[in-house]
Amino acid sequence: MISPSSSPLHLPFQIPLFSTPPKSTQNTLSATTIRTQYPKPNSHLTNKTLTPFQKPPIPTQNLAETIKDRKIETLTEFNHLFMSLVLADEVDLAYKLYSNLPNYDLSADNLTFSILVNCHCKRNQPIEAKRVLQHMIVNGFGSPKVKTFTQVINSFCKKGRLTNAFEVFNMMGRVGCDPTINTYNCLLKGLCYVGRVEEAHELLSKIKKCWKEGKCVDLKPDVYSFTAVMDGLCKVGRSDEGLELLNEAIEMGLDPSVVSYNTIFNGYFKEGRPLEGFGLLEKMKERNCSPDFVSYSTILHGLLQWGEVRAGVRVYDEMVSLGFEVDERMMNTLLRGVCRKSRKEKELLKDAYKVFDEMSKRGCGIDPCGWELMVEAFCNGGEMDKAFVNLCEMMELGLCPRSFTLNIVVSGLCNEGKVEKAMSVLVLVCRGRSEMLERIAFDDLIKELNRRGMVASATCVYCVALKNGVIPLRQPR
């Protein structure tokens, strides 16, 4: 047990770990409330109460009937049933069972109240759980176990009520209950949750120092200790310090979990440093820590968000090879990024085709922007038939491509001598907004029709252009 006077550990707000605060009436129970809500221990336990529970566990579906029929005969049986309900997350039914305790002619013991504390925590009622702790201590039920204290501390921390959490923490010291590293982990996570990251970092440093000096041999920080503070640091733009903690954990002989690495990945992404996350991914695999779906998704999202498309394609390929299924939204983001990048880097066209084919096979919904960019990519890669098919499919679905897309498809088809398909595009456009075709598209159509001697068709195209306020440079001849 760390004594207040000699302890190198102090609370983040400069109060010794187990200092006794001034007496307060806050959250304490009146004598009347204690007698009414929580009975005192029965000093004359009957043989009936001490009878060992020999019956097999009662199935959850029969618990309500058991409570209703009042078949509980011993406190051991009651506690077993009470615990079963809480573990099964039937907390409302569990509390109803506890409320019926006097009807069974039984008196609660230390275990009963410990289970009740857990029940209140699961019902998101940490204040009530704290009152039960106080009742146990004041009325001679013995000191609650460290696990029970930790449950209440964790419940307060999840709600961001750190003042209450530290009150329970100090209560542990007053009854001589030594906290475990799990207790501190709850506080570390709670401090980070409310933005008190620096205090969490300081507390972790004090725990490490105490352990290294041999003063707290049972308080060696674990992976969760480091990860909690790493997460807090990364959320406030201090990913480098988070990485330092990761390396320190490794030096201490700990094996960081995939969650630890994911925390750093997320930090790098938010700070616009996705390539550093990509490098850390390789180091992670070198340490035999297998990245999970969240790891890859976070890195892929970050790489695409910050324009690192080539690295994003590598991560995507690795995900697919490992059997991970990239979600539809991410696939659309990747498709758009690869298509845009392929305008200058033609070697990326094959990656655009690959992603598009995979989305089509899976039946993923392709957003209008991605579809239009894919049509452009087909044109840039000389795949005019595919560009034509996808453009027609878009327009038949009521999607309206940009003028640029329509013009490059028409021009590309004409350049390949596929004037019939180019005319089909013109017909489709005329059904909607024919003004979207520009002069270059009309010129290419008229040129190809003239070359084939299709003067009548060239004349029709010329008239359509004039009707839409476009004067082609070429004329039917």
Lowest mean per-residue pLDDT among 111-125, 429-443, 462-476: 429-443
Q: How sure is the predictor about 468, in pLDDT bands with cuts at 50, 70 and 90?
A: confident
In eight-state DSSP terms, residue 215 is S
Q: What pTM value is reported for the model?
A: 0.75
Whether residue 170 is contained in a domain is answered as: no
Q: Which amino acid is at 202?
A: E
Query: Residues 197, 232: contact at Cβ < 8 Å?
Result: yes
Q: What is the identity of the amino acid at 185? A: N
Q: What does the pLDDT look like over 120-146, one tens digit per residue?
A: 999 999 999 999 999 999 998 888 999
Which residues span the domain enclosing 435? Answer: 404-477
The pLDDT of residue 245 is 97
56-66: burial string, b at 16+ Cβ within 10 Å, e else: eebeeeebeee
Residue position matching structure tokens 């029929």: 69
Residue 186: predicted pLDDT? 97
pLDDT digits (tens, 9 = 90+) for 291-339: 999 999 999 999 999 999 999 999 999 999 999 999 999 999 999 999 9
327 domain residue, yes or no: no
Residue 421 lies in a domain: yes
- Please answer whether residues 334 and 311 qualify as being in contact, where contact means their C-beta atoms are separated by less than 8 angstroms: no
473 within some domain: yes
The whole-angstrom separation of Cα 379 and Cα 392 is 14
Report if residue 413 sits inside a domain.
Answer: yes
CB-CB contact of 444 with 413 (8 Å): no
Residue 437 lies in a domain: yes
Residues facing 10 on adjacent strands: 16
Both ends of the chain: CA-CA distance in Å? 102
Q: How many CA atoms lie within 13 A of 370 on its CB side?
A: 22
Helix (H, G, I), strand (E, B) or coil at 468: coil
Domain contains 218? no
* Closest listed residue to residue 246, CA positions, set 270, 266, 219: 266
Residue 222 domain flag: no
If one counts every other C-beta atom within 10 angstroms of the C-beta of residue 240, the result is 15
The pLDDT of residue 64 is 62
Give the span between the Cα atoms of 77 and 69, in whole angstroms. Answer: 14
Maximum pairwise Cα distance, the chain: 117
CB neighbours of residue 362 within 10 Å: 11
Domains of the chain: total:
1
Q: What integer pLDDT is reported at residue 56 of this predicted model?
A: 45
Please say if the pLDDT value at position 165 is more than 60: yes
Handedness of CA 65, 67, 70, 74 (dihedral sign): positive
Q: pLDDT tens digits for 229-272?
A: 999 999 999 999 999 999 999 999 999 999 999 999 999 999 99
Q: Is the dihedral of CA 194, 196, 200, 203 positive or negative?
A: negative
